[in-house]
Structure 1
Amino acid sequence: MSQVEKAEEFAKLHRKGDPLILFNIWDAGSAKVVTEAGAKALATGSWSVAAANGFSDGEAIPLSLLAVITRLISVTSHLPVSVDFEGGYAVEPDAVAANVEKIMDHGAIGINFEDQVVGGRGVHPIEMQAARIRAIREMATRREMPLFINARTDLFLQESDTAHHQILLDEAYRRADAFAEAGASSFFAPGLVDAELIEAVCDRSPLPVNIMVRPATPDNVTMARLGVSRISYGPAPYRTVMGMLKSEAEALYQQA
């Protein structure tokens, strides 16, 4: 498939009640393994990509290196590849769009794009984040590329007390509406774990909803029933693999 065809296919995989499952990858090797396991699409996780290359999360990994990793993944697998692009490596809309274009030119057909202030506190005002999404969409449209923009809100991740998530719903709805109007393709609410709240967001959002698996989230069958369109695993696969590697290495060296 061409890059455009991959983007179109990726969008079709987001079905309410029949969610796309993304077991997040971090390099060409993990892309090959997950592809061979039967995945329908691939998506990186920023934490995993950074950690695998010796960096911390939060755009510490250089954009140039992220572009190379994206290219290696995209030529290793025939599947659509979405890249966790954090906050776009910039703040101003035009600069963000220019950076997204670089990743797109290296094979990405979609991105995660978050509203948290990278390196700062809180989240960007709705109007600012919508302007950033709009700039990305306008760039992609000029390029005749149906880039899949997974618009992430960090409202729930930044509130560690899940008992307070209920009061964040109205703000989340406003963001979903604004992001949809600006040209986003889906709405990502990592950190949201309560089944009733997940269902409420799925019912209310004008966009397909992405939920990230955490220890307290419902199982995948339940999330499908709640109306989720995309389920991702974030850094969990990387942590599992590295945990196994460490355990086996420790066992080996303890015998020495």
Structure 2
Amino acid sequence: MFRREYYPSDTIKLINQSEGKLGVSGKAAHAIAEHLMKGSPGAVLWNNVTLDRQSVGISKDGFRDRFKESPGTANSGWLGKGDMTILLCELLNSDVGQEALGALDGGVKRVEIHYLNLKKLAKLFGGLADVNMNLSNWLVTPAREDMVDKTFTNGKGESITRKVKVKTAKVVTSVVKAVDLASVHAVLDVMGTRLHLQTLFPDNSTIESRANWTVGQVNVTVTINASGNPVKIVQART
């Protein structure tokens, strides 16, 4: 049964066990590989067979350049595995998280959960109450053409001012900065009888908590109203 209470010991195990395995979609899980900063606290995987520690995570350059060819698409990164563990635990125990896990119990194979961080667990751990994240983006200044005044000297030595076209090339600039973490997004699959974490990344948006999944030809979205009750929206897939 997936719908139950979770503890940090459960979620760090889920994060570590899921990494590197193939998800239902056929793509390797990447909560660590693409969203945990290499060299950050806890950015290691322990092999119980060989007793080796493997350094994991995404490098500074890899994080910065992930969406280099898709300007406007931001990449977000965890500053430590402890943040991942605590916030995944809170996400799974949240109202929307429990609704999504209940859907997995009912036969759904994949759910997406967006959780607005209420810091319920983080406040128990002092310094983790205010969690930051890294955000990488590529800002594009489009190419442009301007008409400017330019002064020439003609053959008679006279100054003549005319409008000329000046072209400025497109400029793409990388920006990496630390920002406040406002929410968390997770994708969870069922692999056999086990829960699998496909991805887990932080977000600086303040969109309300919600969960999404697909049943046959319909999309299901669940939010929680002010009374704490789930509100389900069912729409036909297009």
Alignment TM-score > 0.5, same fold = no
> Into which bin does the TM-score normalised by the smaller protein fall?
under 0.3
TM normalised by structure 1 equals 0.23
Q: Which has the higher helix share?
A: 1
